[in-house]
Amino acid sequence: MKQDVQKRRALGLLVPGLLVLGILTGTALAAEEPGGMRLPSLAPMLERVTPAVVNVATEGRVQLRQHPFFSDPIFRRFFGLPGQRMERKTQSLGSGVIVDAERGLILTNYHVIANATRIMVFLHDGRVLEAELAGVDPETDVAVLRVQDTELQALPLSASENLRVGDFVAAIGNPFGLGQSVTSGIVSGLGRSGLSLLGYEDFIQTDADINPGNSGGALVNLRGELVGINSAIYSRSGGSIGIGFAIPINLALQVMEQLLEYGEVRRADLGRDVGLLVQDIGPDLAAAFKLQNNRGVVVSRVFDDSPAERSGFRNGDVILSVNDRPVRSAAELHNQLGMTQVGREVRFQVLRDGAPRPLKLSLEIASRPQPQGHGVSTPLLRGLSLEELEQGGLRVVRVERGSPAWRSGMRPEDRLLSANREAVNDLQHLLRIVDGQESLLLQMQRGQRVFFLLLR
């Protein structure tokens, strides 16, 4: 309460400039009091916006982590324990935003509905609707819900690239299950990445308080237009310390449309589709290429007859920027290309022989035959189809939505490197490792990223 009072006072100190702007532009920043006096207020704008922000409640089940003794069938028989794995019913609360009233589409975060078997949406007017999951993209933490109702109100959208650091914003959501709440602040930063929160990151940073339950809610500007989907906070205690992150609405909408059209987000792979291998620049390489700093990535290989070669890339080129955004590492390049829609033209700025050079290429996915793969019936690997690679190892061909592998975050084209810290050579080897296990620690590779997943 004290913090909200302080924020209201701070907003009041920003008049008359802000107040006059609100009156002239019709952004509803002022409310008229009985005495005819105008005071700064977000209330008129919020009255229009809040009907489009919903509360999301989920029910689900997760496998309970057990002591290794419980995985031993002899131990189970001796103590008369049940043969099936033990589950626990879960419930979670979050928020969502109606972005398309005609199609009944709601944007929220993937982590809000992960493991959900039932999703309920609570509207501002008290209506409760059951939602179906229309698509998810764990790499950007975006999920799309669909509800059947003809009386919905969608939030107007704003191009998130028009945001500037210092713009006022309000975060609307359902913190701690208290019901719809609003906090306000400013845009503290744009294009935040490298936070290791998601596979692909391009966050709006704000000091508007975002607390547990706000996830999936709306970040709006003072005109009441949606600029982002609240997603995460930086915190050592679990509470807000004024560093919150939202997914830009342009990115969220791009992900949503691909999920609705293809059932997945199509991303071009830097090596396989573009035809480039790159590496970070350290002090030695910076000196060799006569660079003033260690930022940027160097092209270590250009594949023959690839889009990169046809676009003019050469071995030794130093990539400085993509679409006018600086590139400081190979991970950042992977991040920026992964968030660029397939079919779009990508502008590169490279350094060659000490001189800057612009290059362009159209980001496409190379056509390749769809492998059949081998379905796996083992419970832990249910719904997973794998292909054995000629050089050894396994590649994910298909993942059934809702399966344990899907819930853990595994996706097609991922490569499986090891299981329970043992390198996997082929399918039979994997099945021997899985046999009798209640959980599985998998080391996966996705593009240039290597990460662990826990399957249970």
Q: Cβ distance 174 to 54 under 8 Å?
A: no
For residue 372, the model assigns a pLDDT of 45
Residue type for position 149 = D
Q: Cβ distance 166 to 303 under 8 Å?
A: no
Same fold, 49-266 and 272-362: no
Catalytic residues: 111, 141, 215
Measure the CA–CA gap between 164 and 323, rounded to whole angstroms: 18
- CA distances for 374 relative to 251, 426, 440, angstroms: 34, 11, 19
Q: Cβ distance 224 to 182 under 8 Å?
A: no
Which CATH superfamily groups domain 374-455?
PDZ domain (2.30.42.10)
User: What secondary structure, in 3-state letters, does the chain show?
Assistant: CHHHHHHHHHHHCCCCHHHHHHHHHCCCCEEECCCCCEEECCHHHHHHHHHHEEEEEEEEEEECCCCHHHHCHHHHHHHCCCCCCCEEEEEEEEEEEEEECCCCEEEEEHHHHCCEEEEEEECCCCCEEEEEEEEEECCCCEEEEECCCCCCCCCCECCHHHCCCCCEEEEEECHHHCCCEEEEEEEEEEEECCCCCCCCCCEEEECCCCCCCCCCCEEEECCCCEEEEEEEECCCCCCCCCCEEEEEHHHHHHHHHHHHHHCCCCCCCHHHHHCEEEEECCHHHHHHCCCCCCCCEEEEEECCCCHHHHCCCCCCCEEEEECCEECCCHHHHHHHHHCCCCCCEEEEEEEECCEEEEEEEECCCCCCCCCCCEEECCHHHCCEEEEECCCCCEEEEEECCCCHHHHHCCCCCCEEEEECCEECCCHHHHHHHHCCCCCEEEEEEECCEEEEEEEC
Q: Cβ distance 404 to 380 under 8 Å?
A: yes
Q: Cβ distance 430 to 424 under 8 Å?
A: yes
What is the number of other CB atoms lying within 10 angstroms of the CB of residue 276? 27
Q: Please provide residue 176's backbone torsions phi and psi, each rounded to the nearest 5 degrees.
A: 60, 20
Measure the CA–CA gap between 144 and 131, rounded to whole angstroms: 10
Give the CATH number of domain 272-362.
2.30.42.10
Measure the CA–CA gap between 411 and 391, rounded to whole angstroms: 21
User: What secondary structure, in 3-state letters, does 70-131 show?
Assistant: HHCHHHHHHHCCCCCCCEEEEEEEEEEEEEECCCCEEEEEHHHHCCEEEEEEECCCCCEEEE
Per-residue pLDDT in tens (0 to 9) along the chain, 456 residues: 444 444 433 333 332 333 222 333 345 455 555 566 677 788 888 889 989 999 998 886 555 444 444 445 555 555 555 544 555 566 668 899 999 999 999 999 988 888 777 888 999 888 899 988 888 888 888 999 999 888 899 999 987 778 899 999 999 987 655 667 888 899 988 877 766 556 677 788 988 888 777 788 899 999 999 999 998 766 555 555 668 889 999 889 988 998 888 888 888 878 778 888 888 887 877 787 777 777 778 998 888 888 999 999 999 889 988 888 888 788 778 878 877 878 888 999 998 888 889 999 988 876 554 444 444 446 778 778 888 877 677 888 888 766 788 778 888 888 888 888 888 888 888 888 887 777 888 888 877 677 888 887
> What is the model's pTM?
0.65
Measure the CA–CA gap between 428 and 153, rounded to whole angstroms: 53
Measure the CA–CA gap between 268 and 338, rounded to whole angstroms: 7
For residue 31, the model assigns a pLDDT of 54
Closest CA relative to residue 168, chosen from 190, 183, 186, 182: 186
Domain assignments of the chain as residue spans, ordered by start: 2-41, 49-266, 272-362, 374-455
The 10 Å CB-count burial string (b at 16+, else e) for 404-442 is bbbbbbbbeebbbbbbeeeebeebebbeebbeebbbbeb
Task: Write the burial class of residue 59 (CB in 10 Å: 0-12 exposed, 13-18 middle, 19+ buried).
Answer: middle
Q: Cβ distance 111 to 141 under 8 Å?
A: yes
Q: Name the fold adopted by 49-266.
A: Thrombin, subunit H (2.40.10)
For residue 267, the model assigns a pLDDT of 81
Measure the CA–CA gap between 81 and 48, rounded to whole angstroms: 56
Six token digits for residue 30: 């002022």
Instruction: Note the residue count of the chain.
Output: 456
Task: Write the burial class of residue 286 (CB in 10 Å: 0-12 exposed, 13-18 middle, 19+ buried).
Answer: middle
